[in-house]
Amino acid sequence: MKTFHLDIVTPDGPTFSGEVNSLVLPAWEGLLGVLPGHEPMVVVMKPGPLKYEADGKVEWLAISGGFAEIKTDKVVLLAETAEMAEAIDAARARAKAGEKQQALSTGNMNAEDVAKMEVSLLKELIRVKVAERARKG
């Protein structure tokens, strides 16, 4: 089966580097599937779940945005954050999301704080979704 090289890099360093069979990433235009030989392009990623398959095994990550450079034989993802599903404590992420929803419901924030809290809530909800998807297989 054909593969391509995938590098996932964050400001904290590399998260993953290896050969994969396929990749699905959260682009602003929607989910983008990548297979070996894909047309070269640069994509802006939004926060969301990212999935890749390597050697018949599917891996999930929570991505909080960034850029993807896609070439025919290599993809480089430069992500703000990228967290592997098995590293996510779903119960803790769910609790944090609940706290943020509660804080938003009080209405005691200015518009800038509301926007920041909504982004933070979105990231927690993505973490929960990725952890649950990985657990289901």
Phi, psi of 40 (to 5 degrees): -60, 140
pLDDT at 10 over 80: yes
Tell me which residue has tokens 């297979």: 35
Q: From the options 3.90.470.20, 3.40.640.10, 2.60.15.10, 3.40.50.12780, give the CATH code of 4-85.
A: 2.60.15.10
Q: Provide the residue ranges of all domains of the chain, joining segments of one domain with +.
A: 4-85, 89-136
- 97's CB contacts (< 8 A; 6+ apart) are 121, 124, 125, 128
pLDDT for 58 = 94
Structure confidence by residue, pLDDT tens digits, 36-89 = 999 999 999 999 999 999 998 999 999 999 999 999 999 999 999 999 999 998
- Kindly tell me if the per-residue pLDDT of 136 is higher than 80: no
Which of the four pLDDT bands, split at 50, 70 and 90, describes residue 21?
very high
* Rounded Cα gap, residues 47 and 81, in angstroms: 9
Q: Which residues in the chain belong to E strands, given as ranges?
A: 4-10, 13-20, 22-27, 30-34, 41-54, 57-70, 74-79, 82-84
